[in-house]
Structure 1
């Protein structure tokens, strides 16, 4: 265990609500007894309200959100360099796609600065736009080659395996899956009335929400869909769904936007739907796991890992909505008939592998290695 209280600077990216700031929040809490934590992100637009809790410092650095514009990247690197010079952290820990190379640029100038990078998914994997994937693959190969030894944290074995061995050979790799920490789960009795699917997401290309609309169009009329998250209550998503769904079908979709507490939505749901093109290890999926729900997801990052632990993890094919709808009907019928028992068993599997205490033990072990 590390005795010295070091200063750790955690780098996020976009300031909106997503898995990265939620992970950083968990990490900041885990380190609270070990380190002085400073958090940096692009301008806060709802994701970093926690960053000044417990006396922590939050720095807003324009340009940390992902970009392919060289001038914007250079400006962000210069601003980050100035921030690091002012804060003088002992450890720089990057989390968002663009902050990984930016942190390496800054760290190369400071041989005494310990560097750690967490990959929230493969930045060049399937589902990314081709130009972005090519750009970030080249960027990763370059900076992994020229940056001195540092620590790399992957969320899954599959993410680690996506990198060629020669890219990682001079660095220290760790695999620490995400966790969820909602609390308050209680198995519930079988429900009467409509069947209910929930998505905790945001309106973005990555989330492929048109696929969710096409699947929903094939489900029986007793299904309801709730979509929560950034911009899910805006006109863009409504317009996209209206292109696919009839007026009666639209009436069965609830576009709720950002919510501060997803627990009531999950507690009333019969299943969790995710149609993303790419992910890391979705905290939203882990929260559904925690709340004892069947999960229906496209085969993106993290689903292979969850399939090894979640007894009701179902991989769907977004290109075949009729087949997916039949799959959802079969599983939700079975789940509703024995909800309390199945929900309790799912939750127990989550607690064994993805609960906050399990994750905290693993991530603090990595932290001690970074400090060694």
Structure 2
């Protein structure tokens, strides 16, 4: 089975990271994947995906029928059995061009809570329902995303949650914690918070920085992981508030584990999320977390107990931080249980098996018919695929020969 994944510019974000993690598991399941980048440039993460074994192609996006037809002709000419769309931008254009080119096997993953309003909501709802009627199979990456798609747009997506690199993240040991804190020059009494995510209005880091400025009576340190915006406004805010010496802007990193190992708390103050892989990684290391009670983060409740939540405001974050800072620095006793729960629910192999089974279902459906869930079973929103991998692979091969 040969699958083309269509994305925007390739950056170290959700879909790209999951594809990197998934590469060996897709190969195990007989699925050969390639990637088409459609940004103005191919993107900084392209080399990472190529190192993982993907062949990466590039056709710059343009709002014209010629662009969409070029993508469709490329997919057909290259012999792809199925096209997997990851982009919200221009989605219906890809679908219509694919049908005109004779490509009928399309899957679309919705990677965020797209809570559009007004005319845009009506248009996107019409486009989604039209695409579903044309045989496109929709996937939601979190329960909240699934509910948004059903409630606002009238589609019936299958829930296959995001996954993380379950072979790479495990509970931090006292020795690893000590080494990591020493590397950052952190004192034993300092309470260390870490956030992981590129700066944007949605990530809401400014509210966290303003909240921390209200908690200067405590010995804390904040490690900020992720690319900064042009002009570094968050760094400038920390300077104005007089807390720049307590915040370390680390930038993008290849391996976030040492930073998580140094921390006492993972913080994600976002205004909304799709379903945060960075949060899964923090829990897999065993960290407690303070999350905002918003779509995409509130979903964690059904998988993990004992997560602290707050409103995505300066007041809400500051109020929630106070008791955590008062508790002081130290390894949390619940880290092993948290890690085990996340590994159970969001291991990479489990998610890839679910996608591979879905691809096989789409492959074997009559063109234009409405796909059904078939043998995919959900337990608390997590796909459980019965013992059918051999059948899935052989069925896909038979269809390919036909």
Structure-1-length-normalised TM-score: 0.83
Deviation at 1:188, TM superposition (A): 3.3
Q: Which residue of 1 aligns with 2:109?
A: 118
Count of aligned pairs: 347
Q: Which residue of 1 aligns with 2:165?
A: 181
Q: 2: CA distance between counterparts of 1:93 and 1:109?
A: 17
Residues 49-89 of structure 1, C-alpha deviations (whole Å, 9 max, x = no match): 233236531012212xxxxxxx6365642442343244231
Q: 2: CA distance between counterparts of 1:317 and 1:277?
A: 9
Q: 2: CA distance between counterparts of 1:115 and 1:276?
A: 31
Correspondence 1:92 to 2:83: yes
Correspondence 1:197 to 2:193: yes
Q: Which residue of 2 aligns with 1:160?
A: 146
Q: Which residue of 2 aligns with 1:260?
A: 254
Q: Which residue of 1 aligns with 2:204?
A: 208
Structure 1 residues 15-164: aligned runs within 5 Å:
15-33=10-28, 34-41=30-37, 42=39, 43-53=41-51, 55-63=53-61, 72=63, 74=65, 76-98=67-89, 100-124=91-115, 135=120, 138-146=123-131, 148-164=134-150
Structure 1 residues 141, 235: CA separation in 2 closer, same or farther (over 3 Å shift)?
Answer: same
CA root-mean-square deviation:
2.8
Deviation at 1:134, TM superposition (A): 5.0
Of the candidates 343, 347, 350, which is equivalent to residue 355 of structure 1?
A: 347
Q: 2: CA distance between counterparts of 1:37 and 1:116?
A: 14
Q: Which residue of 2 aligns with 1:277?
A: 271
Q: 2: CA distance between counterparts of 1:264 and 1:234?
A: 27
| Contact preservation (8 Å) 2:169, 2:284 | no
Structure 1 residues 184, 25: CA separation in 2 closer, same or farther (over 3 Å shift)?
Answer: closer
Residues 8-65 of structure 1, C-alpha deviations (whole Å, 9 max, x = no match): 00111132221121122234443223122110112233223233236531012212xx
| Contact preservation (8 Å) 2:220, 2:325 | no
Structure 1 residues 151, 332: CA separation in 2 closer, same or farther (over 3 Å shift)?
Answer: farther
Structure 1 residues 361, 15: CA separation in 2 closer, same or farther (over 3 Å shift)?
Answer: closer
| Contact preservation (8 Å) 1:271, 1:332 | no
Q: 1: CA distance between counterparts of 2:229 and 2:237?
A: 11
User: Structure 2 unaligned runs (5+)?
Assistant: 179-187, 365-402
Structure-2-length-normalised TM-score: 0.77
Q: 1: CA distance between counterparts of 2:160 and 2:129?
A: 20
Structure 1 residues 371, 275: CA separation in 2 closer, same or farther (over 3 Å shift)?
Answer: same
Deviation at 1:326, TM superposition (A): 3.6
- Indicate the larger mover: 265-274 or 339-348: 339-348
Q: Relative contact order, CA 8 A, sep 6+: which one is greater? A: 2
Larger Rg: 2
User: Structure 1 unaligned runs (5+)?
Assistant: 1-5, 64-70
| Contact preservation (8 Å) 1:153, 1:176 | yes
